Structure 1
Amino acid sequence: MADAAAAATPEWATKEPCLMGIDEAGRGPVLGPMVYGCMYCARSYNDTLATLKFTDSKTLKEEQREELFESLKVNSSIGWEVDVICPKDLSAKMLKRSKVNLNEISHNSAMGLVRKVLDMGVLLAEVTRDRALRNWVFNETALNMHMKTGSGYPGDPDTKQWLEDHKHPIFGFPTLVRFSWGTCTPFFKDAVEVTWESDEVDEDATNNGRAKRQVKLSSLGFTGFKRKTEEIESSGKGRCKFFQARKLELVRKFQ
């Protein structure tokens, strides 16, 4: 971690509960470093902070950003730290034999800032994402679910192990997981193939022109894979008794 010069730990930060925000610049460009920065203040200063005209840096001109940075440096009610990751380091990590992707580099930088500020003695009362993850209330009621989730980032070994421990060959993952992320795909190479009787009527069938068919789901449809379905001849078993008993059918239009 390459640090720019920053002020010593403010006395108030070691006595009052604090808030901290983290942001990055330069994740997308082909030139220059990627920089992660954090700013923290006492919770009691939060209302005042909203009046200081800080906003999304992309909406500000360079001169405005310079002025705000100068005002930040002399504001004794605000503390800050930065991590400057040079292009050489980015290239070396992303191109070495055991590659480190940009998400993992970003995660390590952000967590490094959190650790550094905590080591300085700052009382961070709200690291909101970590708290939300730690206290997550599951919609699922399955037994044997644990919360050794790690950070939740793809490169974290604890996170990978948690995904492995909680995958289900039919239902996938609990709702805590972002199913749309390609990270999920490798965990379901051996997922159970599901076949069910379709509600749709095949008008082209030879059985008096109308026949029910089955639909087979052969992929869970995570990012990078299209949801693969194929129609096969009906097994003759008919729809599941659960749906029959409750007279449930697929409805596309309401009259």
Structure 2
Amino acid sequence: MSLKCETERSETWNEFGDGIPCVLGIDEAGRGPVLGPMVYAAAISPLDQGAELKSLGVDDSKALNEAKREEIFEKMNEDEETKQIVAYAVRALSPELISAAMLRRNKYSLNEISHDAAIELIRDALSCRVNVTEIKVDTVGPKASYQAKLERLFPGIAICVTEKADSLFPIVSAASIAAKVTRDHRLRDWTFKERNVQVPGQGFGSGYPGDPNTKKFLQISVHPIFGFPSLVRASWKTASTIVEKRCVPGYWEDDEEEGKRGKMEGWLGKKDEKPPKRNVWMRERAMKNVVTL
């Protein structure tokens, strides 16, 4: 995981359907957890294969147990007949990417991150020469403005953005399954790049703030100097509160010279839109930033 995000495609995604009209559905998994990636997925299927897609048993991933999700996802990857009915692509946004985006000086909300992930998946399908004529999207934020945004970007395609799309449209259900299973696998197989990370005997749980195993992991894995390992979304209030309580207070050089010491939470909190103060060394020498030559 890193600050880069690549689109990962199933075997038949590229040129899926050989030019016949297709419907594309989008959903995500892992929006709320404090641990692990948020995964966006798009699924595509021929418009005339709706009954066959539904017969696979697709549904909102939350309405299916883990075994059923795994069974359907395995068919999407291994069964030759199923691969002609549906293909998928995913974008896994790492905890580091999410935190870096949300904490940057110019505000970049989780809704905007989500919209951009969905837009990239649609663009990828079109660039892979899939004849997308309809798009169904599970909404993030106000559905009317989100749909208008997509319609401006993709004119000529019938687009529907609505709540509970993963329950209403089988193609969004398929995307929901791809997103959920991919996230579960990434979390289950997570390899820490940091050394000596403490993990409870029962593991770090689902990643949701209310999970007891997740709570325990957050309490024992925080480092007094370096904070949390990269599995943790540092921008989440759940994480920043622990950092403030458990980590060594931090301060900037300018704050020390001016008799002020900031807290560690200042590093993780939202920054205002004012430009940063110049370093004391530059001010003492009346030096200014050059913007034109």
If the length of structure 2 is used for normalisation, what is the TM-score? 0.43
Structure (1/2) with the larger strand percentage: 1
Q: Higher helix fraction: Structure 1 or Structure 2?
A: 2
What TM-score comes out, normalization by structure 1 length? 0.49
